[in-house]
Amino acid sequence: MIRTPQLRSTWARAVVPVVAGIGFFGLLGLALWGVAALTSRHPNEASDLLANRTFRRAHVSTYSKLIAADGPVLFPDLIGTDGDLSVVLDHTGADEMTGWRLYMAYPADRPIGCKVTQVPRTRTFRDCGGRTIPVEQLHLPPAGIRPTVFQDGMIELDLVPDRTRTGIPGTSPGTSPGTGAAAATSNGS
């Protein structure tokens, strides 16, 4: 039988575990610092690793009834602390599977900082200047941010813009501000 080495002096038995513990926590701290440095390279972009790409998978009948009774649904500050991704879900289709639109929660003719509030139980919103505007005059989202309606009647909001966007909310390559994609899509997932 082979004997395992043992520390013989009192000093070694006291110091070696402490040094090993400090080394372990030092390596753990370096690993956490590396993760923080990696994820903070683009603080204004949502990371697929840290945030969900979608929000609220629910049945279309839930939202279509809510919108019919109380107007479009305002989802404030879905991602981020600055409220940059507040969106409005609207439904104007003849049936529950079509006619879904997503808008950004600020007017198309104002900057992103001009957030809107909904006039209760209506399809209108009040902007930062006190104007009352219809939902159709809200800013369209960047390409990639859209409602997705599935064949089983479920809807979810895709909240991460396409990687090819220009960096200006409401635009995508080859479009001018306010003409980004907002129509609902259908896939068989």
Question: Rounded to whole angstroms, how far apart are CA atoms 159 and 175?
Answer: 19
Question: Rounded to whole angstroms, how far apart are CA atoms 57 and 156?
Answer: 4
Mapped onto helix, strand or coil, the DSSP state of residue 156 is: strand
pTM tops 0.85: no
Q: How do the pLDDT tens digits run along the chain, 189 residues long?
A: 787 778 888 998 899 999 999 999 999 999 999 988 887 776 555 455 555 667 767 889 989 999 999 999 998 876 654 556 789 999 998 888 999 999 999 999 999 889 999 999 999 999 999 999 999 999 999 888 899 999 999 999 888 787 654 444 443 333 333 333 334 443 333
Letter for the amino acid at 68? A
